[in-house]
Structure 1
Amino acid sequence: MTQHTTPVRDPRLGRIIAATPAAVAGVVLLLPSGPPDSDRRPRPLADRRTRALARRLATEGSAHGIAAHVVRYRCRGWNGTRADLAQDAAWAADEAVRRYGDVPVCLAGLGMGARAALRTAGHPSVSSVLAVAPWLPEEGDDAGPEPVRQLAGRQVLIVHGTDDERCAPGLSFRLAERAKKSNRDVCRFEVHSDGHALAQHRAEVLALSADFVLGSLLGTGFSRPVTDAFAAPPPLGLRMPLASGFGRSLRR
């Protein structure tokens, strides 16, 4: 009987969003979400939220030399200790350096892609991480708590809705709390009364994300300052626990 094996697929970078900058000053790699376990081929198109963020970053960043790519995974799932999405994110960071040279890289992930971004932050080319509604394992799992040592020296922004029923917001709070002990440049924004898709404050979340990515890659100030937690009530339902020192330490 003839046996058929599943062909090995390689990760790849999707086409650059918008026009290629004349001189690339930084790269943002968009990491879509996925299920905990699946060897199936990823869908041809990234989910809508990932592409919406990619377009926003490309629109605001191309004039400043920012190249944006959506990462195409080998398969859909994280798949336990294989951590396939994190492996593909690391490959994408290597590929960005190969294409563009020694430029800073921001990993921007959503859901399971946010976990991949956080896990891969220790890559030498990565300078910042944006994690939107990250899927994280329960801390009682056999694998233990999600690591945070790789976040040292990186600028990290976590954005999570308080009513997220798919990815527990309490887990991202505890991860940020642990990471904050060794890295002042960690901020976690809570979006009140919003769910996993962050649809209620979509425009504000996109603006916040774009501001962080461009500021962290270009080394410029942020137009939306982040100050000590609960120092003043922020607008538009956004709250800033674990933000202490973030704005001051990241300003240029």
Structure 2
Amino acid sequence: MAQRTLRERGARLGRPMGATGAERTVHGVVLLLPGGVAEGTGRPSRLAVSAVRPLARRLARAGEEEGLVAHVVHYRCRGWNGTAAHPAEDAHWAADEVVRRYGDVPVCLAGHGMGGRAALHAAGHPAVSSVLALAPWLPEPDGALVPEPVKQLTGRQVLIAHGTNDERSHPDLSYRLAERAKKINRDVCRFEVHSDRHRFTEHRAEVQALAVDFLLGSLFARGFSRPVADALAAPPPLGLRMPLAAGFGRSLRR
């Protein structure tokens, strides 16, 4: 019964934000992937969806002149659900839907928590050019588990940001994944948000500014700020433990 309910419900895209209207041409799309829980086939939390809307609006405003459209992805269910990886499947479907609606435009997958993991997993979709994973929820190491995949990140620009005091997803897990990914893809960087927690309540403005900088640079070749460019160029561990400076974004011309 649960599986039938999942099939009937289906994933969907939220309303478009940004460069919309008949007179506007879409040149890029960012898909916002909300957080969730490890297990659960019930309806997704409205709070999780609401939590990513402010970032969606910020990104849409920043990229409107470039022809950016932002959509929040509404999952079929609230849980990751083991090997089913429902949010990752929904993210892949969402990228397919972008191609159907807008044609051959570059896509950035931007997720928080479980959505960050979904973004990393779905990066292999042909339309995806970049991935932004904020405090990605990743499984604890277990000899019985298959390691998180990283081959799908090849050819994508990837930025991970994680609070050093994250109480829900240990930052060392995202560092280890970034370290593995960096071995096969030079365009991977990771920022540490010192003293911040899972929801980035202490440095939300800086994290959103970092997201804007990375999105515009990766989708529209506008170039990155010096910290992001340095993080992408630096070898491990420097480029994977780059501190996000207080006040980041205040002097950026965006």
Matches of 1:205 and 1:81 in 2, distance apart?
30
Long gaps (5+) in structure 1: 239-252
1:14 to 2:17 alignment = no
Report the residue type matching 1:189 in the other structure: F
Deviating more after overlay: 142-151 vs 75-84: 142-151
Name the structure 1 match of 2:219.
217
Matches of 1:163 and 1:206 in 2, distance apart?
18
Deviating more after overlay: 211-220 vs 156-165: 211-220
Aligned residues: 234
Name the structure 1 match of 2:121.
119
Report the residue type matching 2:158 in the other structure: V
Report the residue type matching 2:246 in the other structure: L
C-alpha deviation, 1:63, in angstroms: 1.5
1:110 pairs, out of 109, 112, 115, with: 112
Long gaps (5+) in structure 2: 249-254
2:26 pairs, out of 16, 24, 27, with: 24
Going from structure 1 to structure 2, the CA distance change for 1:124 and 1:221 (only over 3 Å counts) comes to same
8 Å contact kept, 1:138–1:145: no
Name the structure 1 match of 2:246.
236
Runs of 4 or more above 4 Å deviation:
230-234
Deviating more after overlay: 46-55 vs 82-91: 46-55
1:33 to 2:35 alignment = yes
C-alpha deviation, 1:235, in angstroms: 2.8
Instruction: State how 1:147-226 maps to structure 2 within 5 Å.
Output: 147-226=149-228
8 Å contact kept, 2:167–2:197: yes
Name the structure 1 match of 2:89.
87
Going from structure 1 to structure 2, the CA distance change for 1:234 and 1:35 (only over 3 Å counts) comes to closer
SS of structure 1 residue aligned to 2:159: strand
Instruction: State how 1:121-136 maps to structure 2 within 5 Å.
Output: 121-136=123-138
Going from structure 1 to structure 2, the CA distance change for 1:148 and 1:165 (only over 3 Å counts) comes to same
1:180-205: CA deviation from partner (whole Å, max 9, x where unpaired): 00100000000001110111111000
Going from structure 1 to structure 2, the CA distance change for 1:200 and 1:31 (only over 3 Å counts) comes to same
Q: Which has the higher helix share?
A: 2
Matches of 2:157 and 2:63 in 1, distance apart?
18
SS of structure 1 residue aligned to 2:146: coil
Going from structure 1 to structure 2, the CA distance change for 1:73 and 1:194 (only over 3 Å counts) comes to same
Matches of 2:161 and 2:79 in 1, distance apart?
22
Name the structure 1 match of 2:142.
140
Name the structure 1 match of 2:51.
49
Going from structure 1 to structure 2, the CA distance change for 1:168 and 1:9 (only over 3 Å counts) comes to same
Q: TM-score, normalised by structure 1?
A: 0.87
Matches of 1:61 and 1:237 in 2, distance apart?
21
Going from structure 1 to structure 2, the CA distance change for 1:46 and 1:23 (only over 3 Å counts) comes to farther
Name the structure 2 match of 1:247.
none
8 Å contact kept, 2:213–2:224: yes
Matches of 2:183 and 2:201 in 1, distance apart?
31
Aligned-residue RMSD, C-alpha: 2.1
Deviating more after overlay: 226-235 vs 28-37: 226-235
8 Å contact kept, 2:18–2:63: no
Matches of 1:213 and 1:18 in 2, distance apart?
14
8 Å contact kept, 2:192–2:243: no
C-alpha deviation, 1:48, in angstroms: 3.8
Matches of 1:161 and 1:45 in 2, distance apart?
20
User: Identity of paired residues, percent?
Assistant: 65
Going from structure 1 to structure 2, the CA distance change for 1:181 and 1:95 (only over 3 Å counts) comes to same
Q: TM-score, normalised by structure 2?
A: 0.87
Matches of 1:186 and 1:58 in 2, distance apart?
23
Report the residue type matching 1:12 in the other structure: R
